Amino acid sequence: MSLDETIASALDDRELAYQHKEPGKFFVTLPGTKKLQTNCWLVVGRHALVVEAFVCRNPDESHEDVFRFLLRRNAKLYGVHYTIDTRGDIYLVGRIALHAVTPEELDRVLGQVVEAADGDFNTLLEIGFKGAIQREWDWRVSRGESLANLKAFQHLVSES
């Protein structure tokens, strides 16, 4: 079985949505609860399978606190780590040696991507977007709009 077939089979077995439009490249949509979905690239390189998942855009505020959180979190992650791109957007990235790419290893690494991206999402928003959350809350309250998708952040806002 080729590496592409191994990856496709593993994704199919886990009922994950993905696109595979060219050899060695998979665009996978991982489901979540706090972060409703995490888009993840799996790209076969010369020596390793590269895993890259977008987590969050560049925080508006408290960059030092966000980076401290990410660095501490890196110590607990399996197969991937947090990084930022040149714009400051936050990603999870990792590499799996080609000889180690098995359905079980893909499951572990993709599971870690979901656990981190989904599990850390609200914390990253709380640290890096607190002001924006407060403004959005106030705007919705002033117009009688629904606060349903902001309820997780109610502890951050002070209703006047």
Rounded CA separation 72/37 (Å): 24
The answer to whether the beta carbons of residues 116 and 77 sit under 8 Å apart is yes
Rounded CA separation 117/19 (Å): 20
Is a pLDDT exceeding 60 seen at residue 160?
no
Q: What pTM was estimated for this model as a whole?
A: 0.92
What Cα–Cα distance (Å) separates residue 148 from each residue in 22, 102, 141?
A: 40, 40, 11
Domains for the chain: give ranges and CATH numbers: 3-128 (3.30.1460.10), 131-160 (no CATH)
Lowest mean pLDDT among 27-36, 104-113, 128-137, 151-160: 151-160
Percent of the chain exceeding pLDDT 90 equals: 89
Task: Assign 75 to helix, strand or coil.
Answer: coil
Is a pLDDT exceeding 80 seen at residue 159?
no
| N- to C-terminal Cα separation, the chain | 62
> What local confidence, expressed as pLDDT, does residue 148 receive?
87
Instruction: Give residue for tokens 């077939």.
Output: 5
Instruction: Give residue for tokens 């979190």.
Output: 73
Task: Assign 143 to helix, strand or coil.
Answer: helix
Q: Give mean pLDDT, residues 113-129.
A: 97
Please write the tens of the pLDDT for every residue from 39-77: 999 999 999 999 999 999 999 999 999 999 999 999 999
Helix boundaries (H) for the chain: 3-13, 63-74, 103-128, 130-143
